[in-house]
Amino acid sequence: MQIGFALFNALAVGMAIFLVAAGITLIFGMLRILNISHGSIFMVGAYIAFTVVGIEPGSISWLLVGGLVAGGVLAVAGLCINFGVFRRLRHVDEAYSLIATFAMLMICNGLVKLVWGVNYHSISAPDALAGAIFLGPVLVPTYSLFIIGMGIATFLALEILIHRSRIGKVVRAIAHDEWMSNLAGINTPLVYALVVMAAFFLAGMAGGMLLPNQSVSPLLFESYLLQSFMVVIIGGLGNIRGAFIASVMLGLVDGVNFLIMPELPGLLIYFLLVTFLLWRPQGLFWQPGADTAGHTEKAPDPTSIPSAMPVRLSPQIACIIALVAVLVASMPIYVNEGFLFIAGFAMVEALLALSWNFLFGYVGLATFGHAAFFGIGAYFVGFLLRDYGVSFPLLLAGATALGVLSAMIVGLVALRRTSGIALGILTLSLGEILRRIINYSKTLGSDDGLSGIPRPTLEFGLFSVDLSSERAYFWFLCVACATVALLLRALTVSRFGRMMVSTRQDPVRAEFLGINVQRVRLTAFAISGAVAALAGALHAPWAQIVTPDTVSYLHSTQPMLNTLLGGSGFFWGPVVGSVAFSTLGYATRTLAGLSEVISGLIVLVVVLGAPGGILGIGKQLGIFRAKRPQAGSPDDAREGAHP
Amino acid sequence: MIECREIYKNYGAIKVLKGISLTIGKGETFAIIGPNGAGKTTLFKVITGESRANSGSIRLEGEDITNVSASARVTRGFGRTFQVARILAGNTVLENLIIAIEARQRNQGVKPSWWRLGPAPDVVDEARVLARRIAMADKLGLSASFLSHGDRKRLEMGMTLALKPRVLMMDEPTAGMSPSDRHDIVNVIKRLRDEEGLTIMLTEHDMDVVSDLSDRVMVMNYGETVATGSMEEIRANTAVREIYLGEEADHA
Amino acid sequence: MLEVRSLDAFYGDSHVLHGISLRVAKGARISVLGRNGAGKSTLLKSVMNAGPRARGEVLLDGSDLGTLPSFRRARLGLALVPEDRRIFPHISVMDNIRLVEAAAGPQGLVDPETILAAFPILKPLVGRYGSQLSGGQQQMVAVARGMAARPKVLLLDEPTEGLAPVIVDQMAVSLTALCDALGTGLLLSEQNIRFARRCTSAVYVIESGRLVYQGSWEDFDARPDIKQRHLSV
């Protein structure tokens, strides 16, 4: 009986995931855009439906009305988003479309907080669905049956539409070859718009149907976000049958997880995903020309490649840098404690972002789990510093080594099998596994994290430097971050740096220069992991607390946002982005929701309008282009290296 | 120099290469011709290491390199150019050449200096000399993304020469070029062949280029060798005229 | 019928076509000859607004097509059969042909009988998936698909490339038969002079994006220098 109950429960969970994942699958299958914001769109749908039906929806049909209204509103929103955002993202690098949809996620989440507030609401199921019935010997909640029914109905509708109808043939033809479909007289922009509207409508419907399934709060977006990605990945990137089967699998695995280790919720799913990605990174049902187009490797935009040549500083620039350095270093004198705290964080975040862009900008690998390396460093230092008082320089070295080691392990496994989105999701899953393990570990403080981490004293035999004051540690942070950043910069303009940019631009060409591309990637991965871990290690004594949030995927997105805002095509772009983001965060800190909306909007505008980021805009305006005699050459700034 | 034995290659159920064997002598220029889809490019890729044959063996100067990766084949002396030139579009012409020279140095085990930022002066000098050789000395600071098709091919040739290869593999070296560019590139190849004694293997559609350059020609069709021999022998071969040269042979 | 007036076309920064002007009268069949990279494909794609950035006029039945997207041009009666064929691998041969229904006018698609009569080689293949066809068969399907929507002018890009001579002969027969039956004009880009001569009545020659010759096949044959200079390989 217990098993039967669990089985139905698991199926209900799976179908709920499918209801949300169906829309992501549709959009991905058609537009090749992994819409990270879909969970938030779903949340908006739930809130709209909640506004319509209230706390106690009277009947099933009332719940349906709520879903339909939410679906309708979102379909219109989808139409606008298709023309405003998606249409512009179809021909850009995957990483940019991920960031743009992440910006949409921030905007949606912020809007929800602004419009509906931050309270939790529990919606009860309508009376007809509140009970339970016996199916044979098994007692099943009617609401579970309702969700399972809705899931199956949605699947059948999509299955018939996509695989059995004329419209489906047209849709799949466009997904396979948009250009030829146009030549066949098909109005492809219209079909794209309709598909996006359908996907958004489904999200709204799901929002309404699943209202009684969980409480409605601004955190709702998270409950389905990662699971529905997994469904899309396991199912085979855009295949609706695959998504359905993967949803059922996920529900069942989650059920098993609940039975055998209830204290570690969701862990098995991630293990499943990691194993799956390594075994079959293209997904269950992926076949070229099935529901989706083949994977075509797009060459990166030449202007997005950071320079691997040293630039001679003009006296003006050198003066500006010196001025900024003095301003930052003297901060403890003229700013208040709160601001100083933020400034210290910004430096650490900048280092983390630099390490991320070392991989993305120079080698072309986008990881979604960089916070894991950061967290490893932070927990390592926090734990040993607080409980064992190990010498701080030793800890920094240890954290760096640990970063290299973990990145090597991850890289050896991940880089062999995956790239692009699969690599992103794989690293994200590994990060989430780590977070769940930390959450579970009593030694590491579970949910509350490690608090009361002391600031260390540096012992140098003859003399010692006391870093326990905020001021002292801030100065130490300045020196440490600047040193590491400059070392990293030196590496990017070395022979290895030039090998990195060549593998990013054209791995085949690099291979035929005799460069072992895999080894370059792995080395870059290890260095990046080391710097990220070191950033975490520096972070722990500054914050004096390390929580599982440091490891979460949300923190992993921060270096990406910082990098793309500042400009991924520039070594210093991530630093500029971190400063901009921190300033923004500080300026809007008192406005719940509004800060997310504003940051989201800015990121969206930058990604859509100026993919080169802030520094890219600066370069276009010619602000820091050195004037040189070779007037005709469009890229003369780079010639600066050669006298 | 290069010896292939009984190369078979399938893509799924489709048999692309059905037991190709060939031998290219040192300093020889060897051309592969045949209709589209005959398997020329696949054979090329199998020899360069981009794709692995299902069976058969490849030897370079007696050493079995069948299971050696493409990059390791480059360190053993292969250089390769592509039908659509593969260059680093985000870098300048000079940087492209520098990267190629540094890659060679690395393959030879030359260690970079620990303290220098940027490329060593001798590398930059060598790149400049190389740029003059490929007649691009006036475009050093130009981003490669702004180069014309012909210039891209020229730059790719320069990068490949920077590796100082012993065997040069060229896939359609004159494809899509204007007649004057075509003339230039043929002269560059001739000079390499005559002055440096390079072994060259190429695929080509332009029969004038083929007969101008090659010592021996192999004709492929449906994954099989139809004929191998000098250009005169090939022209006289009736099977070849039927499947490939057709009208051209009449008017030549 | 189809008229192109001083057309310039660009890919990125490279200027591919320079002031091309040509006419395809109603039901007329015209060849465009030229070497690889001369700009033949770019010309056909520009007429269709399917890729290159074009400047100049493209008129169909006297009205300028302006900036109309390619699906609208397809609906107005232009059909491009691209050189790489682009058969959809996941649907059957028949479905591939039916896919152009969106481009067909009020008369609807050409009925399958007519098409199969012109391309007898396709008869046993109608149920096969696109991915199960050989290169020659794919080319037949691509041409059949192009004709199915009764276009006023068919833009056919190097249909014989890589095909066995036997198939080329069949193609010439099928193509001319179907064009005659439906009164379709043809703008054929080719390198295979023999095939082009069999299918068309007049010749344009382009070299490096410029029109260097136009005339009938008789004139063309009387001028061996043209062939020598611009086409010989």
Q: What is the CATH number of the domain that holds A37?
A: 1.10.3470
| Rg from Cα positions in chain A | 26
A514 to chain B: closest CA residue: B71
Contact between C102 and A183 using a beta-carbon 8 Å cutoff: no
List the 286-315 stretch of A: residues with Cβ below 8 A of C.
Answer: 288-290
For residue A577, is pLDDT > 50? yes
Residue A186 lies in a domain: yes
Q: Are A228 and A89 contained in the same domain?
A: yes
d(CA A446, CA A440): 5
- So what's the pLDDT on residue A293? 33
A622: left (phi over 0), alpha (psi -120 to 50) or beta: left
d(CA B3, CA B59): 5
Question: pLDDT-based confidence at A476, cuts 50/70/90?
Answer: very high
What would the mean pLDDT of A132-155 be, rounded to a whole number? 89
What would the mean pLDDT of B136-164 be, rounded to a whole number? 89
What would the mean pLDDT of B38-42 be, rounded to a whole number? 84
- So what's the pLDDT on residue B243? 63
For testing contact with chain A, the best of C48, C67, C68, C86 (most A CBs within 10 A):
C86
Q: Are B174 and B242 contained in the same domain?
A: yes
Q: Are A267 and A334 contained in the same domain?
A: no
* Cβ-nearest to B117 among A299, A310, A642: A310
Contact between C208 and B178 using a beta-carbon 8 Å cutoff: yes
Question: pLDDT-based confidence at B70, cuts 50/70/90?
Answer: very high
Question: pLDDT-based confidence at A294, cuts 50/70/90?
Answer: very low
Q: pLDDT tens, A25-65?
A: 999 888 888 898 999 999 999 999 999 988 887 788 888 99
- So what's the pLDDT on residue A511? 93
SS3 of B71, please? helix
| Rg from Cα positions in chain B | 19
For residue B217, is pLDDT > 50? yes
Q: pLDDT tens, C96-146?
A: 999 998 888 888 888 888 888 888 888 888 888 887 787 778 888 999 999
The set of residues, in sequence order, having a beta carbon less than 8 Å from that of A354 and lying 6+ positions away, is: A485, A488, A531, A571, A574, A575
Q: What residues of chain A have any CB closer than 8 angstroms to a CB in chain B?
A: 299-300, 302-305, 308-310, 490, 493-496, 498-499, 501-502, 505-506, 508-517, 630, 632-636, 638-639, 641-642
B38 to chain C: closest CA residue: C162
Domain range for A10: 2-279
- Distance in Å, alpha carbon of A199 to nearest chain B alpha carbon: 35
The set of residues, in sequence order, having a beta carbon less than 8 Å from that of B98 and lying 6+ positions away, is: A498, B119, B123, B124, B127
Q: What is the CATH number of the domain that holds B48?
A: 3.40.50.300
Residue B184 lies in a domain: yes
ipTM for the assembly: 0.93
List the chains bordering chain B where 3 or more Cβ pairs fall under 8 Å.
A, C
Q: Beta partners for C216?
A: C202
Q: Are B142 and B177 contained in the same domain?
A: no
Domain range for B114: 88-146
Question: Residue A168: which of A96, A241, A224 has the closest Cα?
Answer: A241
- Distance in Å, alpha carbon of A641 to nearest chain C alpha carbon: 27
d(CA A499, CA A363): 9
What would the mean pLDDT of A430-455 be, rounded to a whole number? 89
Q: Are B120 and B78 contained in the same domain?
A: no
Q: Are B96 and B75 contained in the same domain?
A: no
With an 8 Å Cβ cutoff, is B175 touching chain C?
Answer: yes
- Distance in Å, alpha carbon of A173 to nearest chain C alpha carbon: 7
Domain boundary, last residue among A549, A571, A597: A549
Q: Are B142 and B205 contained in the same domain?
A: no
Residue A202 lies in a domain: yes
Q: Are B62 and B183 contained in the same domain?
A: yes
Share of residues in chain A with pLDDT > 70 (%): 94
How many domains, chain B? 2
What would the mean pLDDT of A162-185 be, rounded to a whole number? 89
d(CA B63, CA A273): 43
- So what's the pLDDT on residue C232? 58
Query: Is pTM beyond 0.90 here?
Result: no
Q: Are B34 and B138 contained in the same domain?
A: no
Residue B78 lies in a domain: yes
For residue A249, is pLDDT > 70? yes
- The mean pLDDT of chain B is 86
Place of tokens 């002007």: C21
Would you give the DSSP letter of residue B171?
E
Residue B153 lies in a domain: no
Domain boundary, last residue among A494, A518, A549: A549
Question: pLDDT-based confidence at A278, cuts 50/70/90?
Answer: confident
What would the mean pLDDT of A481-494 be, rounded to a whole number? 95
- The percent of chain A in helix, strand and coil, each rounded to the nearest 5, is 70, 5, 25
- So what's the pLDDT on residue B179? 67
Domain boundary, last residue among B112, B146, B180: B146
* Cβ-nearest to B80 among A501, A512, A516: A512
Q: Are A339 and A247 contained in the same domain?
A: no
Q: Are B181 and B134 contained in the same domain?
A: no
Contact between B242 and C165 using a beta-carbon 8 Å cutoff: yes
Q: Are A270 and A157 contained in the same domain?
A: yes
* Cβ-nearest to C233 among B178, B242, B248: B248
Cα–Cα distances in Å, from C189 out to A596, B191, C36, C180, C205?
A: 56, 36, 11, 19, 10
* Residues of chain A neighbouring B143 (CB-CB closer than 8 A): 302, 633-635, 638
Q: Are A246 and A366 contained in the same domain?
A: no
Q: Where are the beta strands (DSSP E) in A493-590?
A: 545-546
Q: What is the enclosing helix (H) or strand (E) of B16?
A: strand B14-24
Place of tokens 């399938």: B10
d(CA A262, CA A371): 25
Residue type, A36: I
Cα–Cα distances in Å, from A305 out to A88, A183, A308, A502, C192?
A: 21, 34, 9, 10, 43
- So what's the pLDDT on residue A286? 55
CB A197, CB A79: distance < 8 Å:
yes
Q: Are B139 and B178 contained in the same domain?
A: no
From the options 3.40.640.10, 3.40.50.720, 3.40.1280.10, 3.40.50.300, give the CATH code of C2-231: 3.40.50.300
- The mean pLDDT of chain A is 87
For testing contact with chain A, the best of C41, C90, C96, C132 (most A CBs within 10 A):
C90
Q: Are A261 and A122 contained in the same domain?
A: yes
Question: pLDDT-based confidence at A611, cuts 50/70/90?
Answer: confident
Question: pLDDT-based confidence at B113, cuts 50/70/90?
Answer: confident
Contact between B90 and A509 using a beta-carbon 8 Å cutoff: no
- Distance in Å, alpha carbon of C118 to nearest chain A alpha carbon: 21
Least confident of A555-559, B242-246, C40-44, C154-158: B242-246
Q: What angle do CA A246, A368, A82 make, to 5 degrees?
A: 70
d(CA A91, CA A32): 10
B187 burial via Cβ count (<10 Å: 0-12, 13-18, 19+): exposed
How many domains, chain A? 2
For residue B250, is pLDDT > 70? no
* Cβ-nearest to B71 among A495, A516, A639: A516
Residue B214 lies in a domain: yes
* Residues of chain C neighbouring B176 (CB-CB closer than 8 A): 36-37
Residues found in chain A: 643
* Cβ-nearest to A172 among C48, C50, C90: C90
Highest mean pLDDT among A134-148, B160-174, B238-252: B160-174
Between B153 and C154, the more confident residue is C154
- So what's the pLDDT on residue A627? 38
Q: What residue spans of chain B are helical by DSSP H?
A: 40-48, 70-75, 93-107, 121-133, 149-162, 179-196, 207-213, 231-236, 238-240, 247-251
d(CA A202, CA B7): 53
Least confident of A152-166, A280-294, A374-388, A538-552: A280-294
- So what's the pLDDT on residue B244? 61
**In chain C, where the domains are located:** 2-231
CB A144, CB A6: distance < 8 Å:
no
Q: pLDDT tens, C35-94?
A: 777 889 999 999 999 988 999 999 999 999 989 999 999 999 999 999 888 999 888 899
Question: What six digits make up the tokens of A554?
Answer: 């949300």
